[in-house]
Amino acid sequence: MKDAEAYFLAIIKDERKGFLASLLRTVLAGLSSVYVAGLKLFLLPYALGIRKQTRLPCPVICVGNLTTGGTGKTPTTQTLCRLLTAQGKRVVILNRGYGGKNEYGCAIVSDGKTVLLNAEQAGDEAYLLADTLPDIPVVVGKDRRVTGKLAYETFQPDIIVLDDGMQFWQLHKDVLIVLLNAAEPFDNGYPFPRGLLREPPSHLRRAGIILLTGTVHTAPETVAQTRERARKLASNTPIYEGNLSPVGLTDLRDKTQYKLGWLEGRSVAALSAIGNPAGFTALLTELGAEVKAAYTFRDHQAVTAAEWETACKDAQGLGVSDIVTTEKDAVKFPGADCDLPIMALSVRMQIENEAEFLGTVQGLLNGG
């Protein structure tokens, strides 16, 4: 499965050459046209007013993106919720609960006092949100109309924050924050399956706020080009920049906390199952670690104990001193027979001009 996925990604990123690769890209491009046509047909009743979006009794802020893969939606949700609660707002988070046992149902992960479900039941992102935002309720389920109703009736929030729900068309969003990877904002420019776009770039006009992520790791001229393209697609939409900032490390076995300087000069192996594993590796290198190996798995994949142990043995053979994983992967750590320390790196989304950003969000909520 992993080899097939890697081959597919190499095809759509034009890394494979030859007749067969070209033929597959042609077929996928045709399927992309079918996908876009199907999306237009699905959205037509909304455009004609035949079908109405569900409106919840309180405002909804959605954090989303146009592509599959990691742009930092969950860390942005964390930061946004911290900013809103600091202003005295009662907030509830809705998350799909991808990969969790309640993804196709409806469940309360946290009531804002106690975390009620584990990562397997809630999904990795939902559990991480509940664990890192202990004062904020988290509700999971694919149908955000159902989870939104439960969230409002149970907790009476001032604001509901929807983590990764831009493509859940059935629910009205009062504010839509769209994240763009500054280096590759629209992947290869094609919708699925020829590319990784969930919807065409022109749909960026739906955004109330655009957040360019990963700008510190992107060449200034590339950031400028991305910003200019975003302005052409959404001319009046305010644009901000956000970057993942590491805040510390935790030993998964004894929960000892370490400062970031601990990584300086250490030979490590990176292990992750996230949307942007290259960004994680780059972050470790930036912190002064020598990354001798990177073990990557499909986004959201629950890495088994056997897979952890295989990575540990391989890393030991390379002479590394530690394995470092992400905070998101750490919540699913199954335990493993490994002689190497296993550390989790915690990160936060730092948004430029944070006060102005929050003011723009509040202005949009007030109809500005």
Same domain, 28 and 157: no
| Integer Cα distance of 360 and 240 in angstroms | 10
Note whether residue 52 is domain-resident: no
User: Residue 159 pLDDT > 80, yes or no?
Assistant: yes
Q: Which amino acid is at 318?
A: L
Q: What is the mean pLDDT of residues 340-357?
A: 96
Q: Which residue has the tokens 């644009």?
A: 239
Same domain, 300 and 333: yes
Reduced to 3 states, what is the DSSP secondary structure of residue 204?
helix
Write phi, then psi, for 206 (nearest 5 degrees).
-70, -20
Same domain, 40 and 141: no
Note whether residue 312 is domain-resident: yes
Half-sphere exposure for 240 (CA within 13 Å, toward CB): 23
List Cα–Cα distances, 132 to 6, 105, 112, in angstroms.
Answer: 32, 23, 11
| Integer Cα distance of 39 and 200 in angstroms | 10
pLDDT band at 5 (very low <50, low <70, confident <90, very high): confident
Percent of the chain with pLDDT over 90: 87
What average pLDDT does the structure give for the chain?
Answer: 94
Same domain, 272 and 239: no
* CATH number of 203's domain: 3.40.50.300
pLDDT band at 298 (very low <50, low <70, confident <90, very high): confident
Same domain, 101 and 151: yes
Specify whether the CB–CB gap between 210 and 238 falls below 8 A. yes
User: Residue 162 pLDDT > 90, yes or no?
Assistant: yes
Burial of 349 (0-12, 13-18, 19+ CB in 10 A): buried
Choice among 24-38, 64-78, 257-271 with the minimum mean pLDDT: 64-78
Q: What is the mean pLDDT of residues 31-42?
A: 97
Q: Which residue has the tokens 């969003």?
A: 173
The confidence score (pLDDT) of residue 279 equals 86
- Between these two residues, 154 and 18, which has the higher pLDDT value? 154
Note whether residue 259 is domain-resident: yes
| Integer Cα distance of 22 and 41 in angstroms | 29
The partner residues of 251 in beta bridges, in order of sequence, read 343
Tell me the residue ranges of DSSP E strands in 14-110.
60-65, 91-95, 107-110
Q: What is the mean pLDDT of residues 319-346?
A: 93
**53: which 2 tokens?**
């979006």
Residue 203 DSSP code: G
Q: What is the mean pLDDT of residues 23-33?
A: 95
Note whether residue 345 is domain-resident: no
pLDDT band at 8 (very low <50, low <70, confident <90, very high): confident
The confidence score (pLDDT) of residue 7 equals 82
| Integer Cα distance of 117 and 137 in angstroms | 12
Write phi, then psi, for 48 (nearest 5 degrees).
-85, -5
Q: What is the mean pLDDT of residues 197-221?
A: 95
User: Residue 1 pLDDT > 70, yes or no?
Assistant: no
pLDDT band at 250 (very low <50, low <70, confident <90, very high): very high
Note whether residue 84 is domain-resident: yes
Same domain, 154 and 195: yes
Q: What is the mean pLDDT of residues 249-274?
A: 94
Same domain, 223 and 120: yes
**Number of helices followed by number of strands (H, E) in the chain:** 11, 13
Q: Strands 342-351, 239-251: parallel, antiparallel or unpaired by DSSP?
A: antiparallel
**Number of structural domains found in the chain:** 3
Same domain, 78 and 182: yes
Note whether residue 249 is domain-resident: no
The confidence score (pLDDT) of residue 2 equals 63
pTM of the predicted protein model: 0.93
- Between these two residues, 70 and 362, which has the higher pLDDT value? 362
User: Residue 278 pLDDT > 90, yes or no?
Assistant: no
**How do residues 103-114 score in pLDDT, each as one tens digit?**
999 999 999 999
Range of the domain at 22: 2-47
The confidence score (pLDDT) of residue 226 equals 98
The confidence score (pLDDT) of residue 239 equals 98
The confidence score (pLDDT) of residue 224 equals 98
Same domain, 193 and 221: yes
| Integer Cα distance of 158 and 152 in angstroms | 9
Reduced to 3 states, what is the DSSP secondary structure of residue 254?
coil
Note whether residue 248 is domain-resident: no
User: Residue 63 pLDDT > 80, yes or no?
Assistant: yes
**How do residues 109-147 score in pLDDT, each as one tens digit?**
999 999 999 999 999 999 999 999 999 999 999 999 999
Same domain, 18 and 92: no
Q: Smallest Cα–Cα separation from 224: which of 215, 235, 234, 233?
A: 215
| Integer Cα distance of 118 and 338 in angstroms | 23
Same domain, 143 and 231: yes
**4: which 2 tokens?**
């097939």
The confidence score (pLDDT) of residue 368 equals 60
User: Residue 52 pLDDT > 80, yes or no?
Assistant: yes
**CA atoms 291, 299, 69, 102: torsion sign:** negative
**How do residues 175-202 score in pLDDT, each as one tens digit?**
999 999 999 999 999 999 999 999 999 9
Note whether residue 297 is domain-resident: yes
Same domain, 68 and 200: yes
**How do residues 231-240 score in pLDDT, each as one tens digit?**
999 999 999 9
